[in-house]
Structure 1
């Protein structure tokens, strides 16, 4: 709410100076992800996770996710994508962002969170969809193991597609484990 109020005040100040301004950003933008398994609609939490939402939206606008796969599928846990091509080549990313896991949002079934390494502020482009309530991924403290994973959105349409992806048989592929045997590709991601 504070972000929306600040954006409105900023717009009023600029308008008072006679400059044209765009309307404040949508606090709940939506992204459509067309995959080879079907379509997923994601609602983002711009107010609760502004840095993560802006980061994800920039990757979407850049066409970064187009042609990448869901490279990690663990039934009853998560499906993860946003980093690798079908040949398991990692696509170069922008700099890592601040971890917003302290935003109060929980890793509940259907929510999206940023994947990261053991370093708290290491998330770039990879994300995962929670297949169940994963309280162990929530913020529980300040150490890297307890810091948690930043929830920034939720699936509002197409959870059956997520479940279909989660049901795919997996195998090891090179150094990677839990890779779907049949590739699940993100054909295109775009804002609604």
Structure 2
């Protein structure tokens, strides 16, 4: 009888611990990080994707370390994208070519068909390595443009191995983006408001290396927040 009581007690404790663990896990899933990107032209907010979890964790760590504060959007191309995150861009002298700075490691590619280069997509820059591994710190935000059926078909033909859903095609024909990058770079987040800030940065006058003539500094912060609140504030559906 005593042995049975001990067994029941141990079983109860195990069940309690399991329920507590599942509860804590569910609580974590109810929250996510809201990323704030400040520029001289306005502020954008973004979310990061769990489908690219290594990129998400790496980016959040850099943000929490204030790595990006006062770095530049050092490469901007209108109707294409704005790129930043080069540590050498902090206090860089006027006219110096940027884009080679890094943090000494790469992040393995996390390319998935559900994440694509629509306007506002946050994606990782990289060099020409065959594994398509990403820079440890440099990223770009897609501006792109709106495509019609004919031009979109030509763009998608550049990635014949990739299949697009009707919804993705419609996004490229209404919101816009850069479909020829799909399958080649890791998309790990999305700007969820004030897309016009991207346009403002992208239209800045640049030198021959696509560096803005007037520095465009960034400041990036993150805050853990209930997903319901993010949805309420920005109408973004997880």
1:97–1:122 Cα contact (<8 Å) kept: yes
2:178 to 120, 134, 137: 134
The answer for the alignment partner of 1:108 in structure 2 is 118
Report Cα offsets for 1:94-127 as digits up to 9, x if no partner: 5211111135311111111000000111421111
The answer for the alignment partner of 1:143 in structure 2 is none
The unaligned stretches of length 5 or more in structure 1 are 1-11, 140-147
Q: Output aligned runs, 1:163-182, within 5 Å.
A: 163-172=199-208, 177-182=209-214
Q: Which has the larger radius of gyration?
A: 2
- Shift in Å, 1:45: 1.2
Q: Which one has a larger percent strand, Structure 1 or Structure 2?
A: 1
SS at match of 1:104: coil
2:39 to 35, 40, 46: 35
- Is it true that 1:79 corresponds to 2:82 in the alignment? yes
1:59 to 59, 62, 66: 62
TM-score when normalising by structure 2: 0.62
SS at match of 1:117: coil
CA–CA distance in 1 between the matches of 2:137 and 2:118?
A: 20
- Shift in Å, 1:15: 4.2
The answer for the alignment partner of 1:97 in structure 2 is 107
Report Cα offsets for 1:48-104 as digits up to 9, x if no partner: 111111111111001000010000000010100111224067665152111111353
TM-score when normalising by structure 1: 0.76
CA shift in 2, pair 1:183/1:51, >3 Å:
same
- Is it true that 1:189 corresponds to 2:220 in the alignment? yes
Q: Which one has a larger percent helix, Structure 1 or Structure 2?
A: 2
**Cα RMSD over matched residues?**
2.4
Aligned residues: 164
